[in-house]
């Protein structure tokens, strides 16, 4: 199923109007097609089903970007623009700036007392990220602890549903452990236990076909790219190196153009027919790429237009951020009061 079909899909039975969703992104760069396939399309669906908080996690981004905080602050607005341009509706999806919700930071501070260093070091996703970044004794403590900060974010808005890719499942496990520890301490269900909503979309590969599309690898089509840039990126997309002559049979597996068509082409029958002809031989790469250009232009053209319009009115975008952040703070203040009570903290 393409992500476009997902976004317009009928309500999923396991989600009710009483659910509260928390999701978000680290503002380390503009969002790309991988984000659209992996999470944004699903958020467009979820916002029609229940209340949603979408967090711009700038504090979390600082845990491995403290040497270059400008990278984080610069991208807050970019990510907010991406959200609004794809059609997140601030009336249904509160867009929240993490650093402007001090209640989340205070909750994280309290939760840190419920988690051991050994537990933090066991988190398989964090371990892998530490390895990728080459951290040793210079590992920022904030980075090791970011799953606790995520537990704070999730519980602050009393989220019941957290949509994530499989790599994020350990974060939700950590959150559930913290929720149970708080509730045990309280002797009552002070915090709701959030459920995980696992993404079923395969990872969108990067242009080079070597890994997933990602901001830091610079191998992605960004949502804000103009059509010339998109065309140039499609031109250098990895196809099948064995497909030398048009009449040769081509491979569809591992072919980034087909993977991207699978994700975004609204007509899967047409894609199946293209695959059949490509495998049989006689269909040039350039023909498949032309199809992808059309499909992506249909998706990104309107997004680009809305984004340009919004970018002309940054005051309006800031107002949306402020309102979303206030909504999150109102909820977070109630949760924080309850958790402070569990720890026996009184305000003088
Ligand atoms: P970075 O390179 O800084 O790690 P990134 O491009 O990998 O950035 P993240 O902010 O790490 O983006 O990703 C956040 C979430 O976006 C992921 O957990 C996943 O749900 C989704 N996502 C990112 N890239 C892809 C992709 N290529 N395909 C599908 N989903 C993706
Ligand atoms: Mg990443």
Q: How far is the CA of 65 from the centre of ligand 1 (A)?
A: 16
Q: What is the per-residue pLDDT for 7?
A: 61
| DSSP code of residue 242 | T
CATH of the domain spanning 3-204+314-343: 3.40.50.620
**Going along the chain, which residue ranges are E strands?**
20-25, 51-56, 93-97, 161-164, 195-198
Q: pLDDT tens digits, residue range 54-75?
A: 999 999 999 999 999 999 999 9
**215 within 8 A of 75, measured Cβ to Cβ:** no
**Interface pTM, i.e. ipTM:** 0.95
Q: Which numbered ligand comes closest to the C-alpha of 201?
A: 1
Q: Is 171 in the pocket of ligand 1 (CB under 6 A)?
A: no
Q: Compute the distance between CA of residue 127 and CA of residue 142 in angstroms, rounded to an integer.
A: 14
Q: Is 168 in the pocket of ligand 1 (CB under 6 A)?
A: yes
Q: How far is the CA of 245 from the centre of ligand 2 (A)?
A: 36
Q: pLDDT tens digits, residue range 240-286?
A: 999 989 999 999 999 999 999 999 999 999 999 999 999 999 999 99
Rounded (10°) angle between helices 256-264 and 285-311: 50
164 has which bridge partners? Answer: 198
Pick from 183, 185, 203: nearest CA to 3: 203
The tokens for 306 are 């809305």
Q: What is the per-residue pLDDT for 93?
A: 98
| Sequence spans of domains, the chain | 3-204+314-343, 225-310
* pTM > 0.80: yes or no: yes
Q: Is 165 in the pocket of ligand 1 (CB under 6 A)?
A: yes
Residues in the chain: 348
Q: Which numbered ligand comes closest to the C-alpha of 215?
A: 1
| Statement: residue 11 has pLDDT above 60 | no
Q: Is 221 in the pocket of ligand 1 (CB under 6 A)?
A: no
**Domain 225-310 in the same topology as domain 3-204+314-343:** no
Question: Mean pLDDT throughout 217-226?
Answer: 95
316 pLDDT tier (thresholds 50, 70, 90)? very high
Q: Is 113 in the pocket of ligand 1 (CB under 6 A)?
A: no
214 CA closest ligand 1 atom index: 6
| Statement: residue 291 has pLDDT above 80 | yes
The matching CATH number, chosen from 3.40.720.10, 1.10.240.10, 3.30.420.10, 1.10.1840.10, for 225-310 is: 1.10.240.10
Q: Compute the distance between CA of residue 55 and CA of residue 52 in angstroms, rounded to an integer.
A: 10
């Amino acid at each position: 199923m393409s992500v476009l079909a997902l976004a317009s899909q009928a309500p999923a039975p396991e989600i009710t109007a009483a659910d509260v969703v928390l999701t978000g992104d680290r503002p380390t760069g503009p969002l790309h097609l991988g984000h659209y396939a992996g999470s944004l399309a699903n958020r467009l669906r979820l916002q029609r089903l229940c209340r949603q908080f979408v967090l711009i996690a700038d504090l979390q981004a600082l845990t491995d970007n403290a040497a270059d905080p400008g990278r984080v602050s610069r991208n807050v607005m970019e990510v907010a623009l991406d959200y609004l341009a794809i059609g997140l509706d601030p009336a249904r999806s509160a867009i929240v700036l993490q650093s402007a919700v001090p209640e989340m930071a205070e909750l994280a501070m309290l939760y840190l007392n419920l988690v051991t260093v050994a537990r933090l070091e066991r988190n398989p996703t964090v371990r892998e990220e530490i390895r990728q970044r080459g951290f040793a004794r210079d590992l920022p403590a904030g980075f090791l602890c970011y799953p606790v900060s995520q537990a704070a974010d999730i519980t602050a808005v009393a989220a019941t549903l957290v949509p994530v890719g499989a790599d994020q499942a350990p974060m939700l496990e950590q959150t559930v452990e913290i929720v149970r520890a708080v509730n045990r301490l309280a002797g009552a269900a002070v915090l709701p236990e959030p459920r995980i909503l696992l993404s079923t979309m395969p990872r969108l590969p990067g242009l080079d076909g070597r890994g997933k599309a990602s901001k830091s690898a610079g191998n992605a089509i960004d949502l804000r790219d103009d059509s010339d840039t998109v065309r140039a990126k499609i031109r250098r997309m990895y196809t099948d190196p064995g497909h030398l002559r048009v009449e040769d049979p081509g491979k569809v597996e591992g072919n980034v153009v087909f993977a991207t068509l699978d994700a975004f082409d609204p007509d899967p029958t047409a894609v199946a027919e293209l695959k059949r002809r490509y495998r049989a031989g006689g269909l040039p790469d350039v023909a498949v790429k032309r199809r992808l250009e059309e499909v992506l232009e249909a998706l990104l053209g309107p997004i680009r237009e809305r984004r340009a319009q919004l970018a002309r009115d940054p005051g309006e975008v800031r107002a949306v951020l402020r309102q979303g952040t206030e909504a999150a703070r109102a909820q977070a203040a109630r949760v924080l009061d309850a958790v402070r009570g569990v720890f026996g903290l009184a305000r003088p």
